[in-house]
Structure 1
Amino acid sequence: MQGKKISVLLIGVILLMAACSSGDKGQAVPKVVPVMADTVMQRAVPVEIRAIGNVQAYSTVTIKSMVAGEISQVHFTEGQEVRRGAPLFTIDPRPLEAALKQAQANLARDQALANNAKVDAKRYEALMAKQAIARQQYDQVRTNATALEALVHVDEAAVDNAKIQLGYCFIHSPLDGRTGNILVKRGNVIKANDTELLTINQIIPISVAFAVPEQSLPEIKKYMARGMLKVEALPPNDTRGAERGVLTFIDNAIDKATGTILLKGTFANKGRRLWPGQFVDVVLRLTTQPDAIIVPSQAVQTSQSGQYVFVIKPDLTVEVRTVLVNRTINNQSIIDKGLKAGDRVVTDGQLQLVPGAKVEIKGSLSTPEKGS
C-alpha cells in the first residue's frame, strides 16, 4: 500500500515538471513572429564597376606672349567662353611695325642693287665674248651679281620674320574653351615667352579620370573589344541624373603603389554640369547580365559559416538557406546560388527567427503598408 502511494507521488512530480518545462518553452519561442518580406525577382541587371572620378578639362592651354612689349588691349572678360580664333590680347605693335618697314626698305634697296648687277653682268659677258676685258674683271662682276641676289633672299626672309613677329602682337584663342583668371592686366610690360597671361580650359567635351582595381582590367579589355563602353558620372548633390559618356582611355601601366589602372571617359557636357577639378561618382557599365536572381540586400545575413537568408515556406514557417552573393547594386543583392525566382525571403525581423518558426508577414520594403 505504501509502495503504491510512492509511485503515484512520483508520477505527479514528473507531470508537474513536464508542465513547467512546456510553459518555459512557450515563453522562449513566440508562436508567430511579425516580419517584413519580399519576393525574389529575376531580371536583367547591368554588370558595372563603380569608382570616384575627377573631372578634367578635355584640353588646357596656357597663353604666353611670343614677343616682348606692353599689353595694350584685353579683348575678353574673365570666365568668358571664347571660340577658336577669338582675339585675346594685343601687344603694342608699333615697334614691330617699324621693324617690318625697315626690313621691307632693305629688301627694296638690295633688289635694286641686284637688278643693276645683273645688267652689268650681261654687259660684261658681251665684252668678254669680244675679248675687250680681262677674264678676272668679268668674274668679279658676275660674283657681285650673285652675292646681291643672295642678299635679296636674306632680306626676303627678314621681311617674313618681321611679319611673323608683328603677328605675335595679336594673340588669339587656339581652341574653343572657357577663360580663367587674367594673370597680367592691361598696361603691363611682359617678356617674350616668359609670363603666363591666361589659362583656357576646353570643357565641351570634357574628361573624367578614375581608377579601378587591376583585377578589373581583363574584363574591361574583354568588353571594350566588343564595342564602346558606356560611362556615367553623377555630380554630388545633383538630382538631375547622371551625365553619360564613353570610355576613351586606358593607361599603359598599372600604378604599382595603389594596384589600380587609370581610365578616362569623355562626356559631351552640353549642359556644363561637369566642371574641371570636380569629384563625381562614376559607373562603368561592362555588359548586361540576363535572368539574374535579385533580393533586397537587407535579406542577406552573415554568419561564421557564410551568408544566408530566411526563406518563408507556403505554411508560413521559415527555413535557413545558404546563398552565394555575386555583388550588390543599389541595395539589391545579385544571388548566384541558393534562391530561385518567386521565393519569399525575410527582409526585417530576422533577429527573432529560428529555423521552423512561424511568421506573420506585415509587408515588404517596397510596400510596407500592405500585409500578406
Structure 2
Amino acid sequence: LQWKQSQAQLAQADAQLVQAKADYERKRQLYEAKNVSKSELDGAEAGFKSAAAQRESAAKALELAKQQLGYCVLSAPLDGSLAEVPVEVQQAVSAGQPVAMLSSGDELEVEVGIPEALIGRIRVGDPAGVRFEAIPGRVFKAAVSQVGIQMSASTTYLVKLRLQEKDARIRIGMVAETTFSFGAGESAAILVPAVAVSPTPGGDRFVWVFQPESSTVAKRNVRIGDLTSDGLEIVEGLAPGETIVTRGVNRVSEGMKVKLLAN
C-alpha cells in the first residue's frame, strides 16, 4: 500500500513540476516583453523551484518504500525445502524471530547423548549405524561429526552423527537409534545400562558388583563392547547372573552395604 501511495505522489509531483515550469517559462517571456511585473515573475520562479523540491522529495519517498518492500522478501541461503513455518499470515514478528525452518536435505545429522563412561572412546570420524523407527529394517551408515566437551543436564555428552546415505523418507525431528563399535572381541557379551559403567582415572571401566553373601558391593574392572539401543555390552569382567549397581553409582564405595530393590 505504501509503495502504491508513493508512486501516486511521485506522479502528482511530476505533473505539478511540469505545470510550474511551463508557468515560469510563460511569465519569463511575458516579463521580457514587459507585459508582467517582476513580482509575478519571481512568484512563478518560486513556484517552479518549490515544485522541483516536492518532486525530489516524492522520488526519495518512493525509493524508501521500494527498499522497505524489499524487506518483505526472504531469500533462502541455500537450496532446500520448507520444514516448518511457525508464524501466521499478517502476524506481527519481532527482530530475530524465526519465521521459517529450512531443510537442505544434503547433510542431515543425528544428535545423541553419550554417557561419561564412553565419551572418551568416541572420536570425530568414527563410524556408526543409525536406525529410524519410521524406516524399519534399514541401518544407515553415519560418521561422528562432532563430540561435545561439556556435560548436559542429563549427565551425557552431545555427539553428532552425519548421515552418509540419503533417503527421502528421513524427516527432521525423527527419533533414531544409534550403534557405535568399540572393537569388542569375540567373547559373548552381557548387556547392562550404560549408566552402570564408570571410568577410572587411568582410562579403564568398572562396575559395582553385588556380593550376596555379605550384602556389600565390590569394584570390578570390565571391558566394554558396543553401545546398542538395548544397553552397553560387557565383553569381559562379568559373569551371567551377577547383579550390579545401576542407580546412584556415584554414591557407592568399596564394601558398602546395600539392599536389593524389590522387583
TM-score by length of 1: 0.36
Whichever of the two has the greater Rg, that structure is 1
Higher normalized contact order (CA 8 Å, seq sep 6+, divided by chain length) = 1
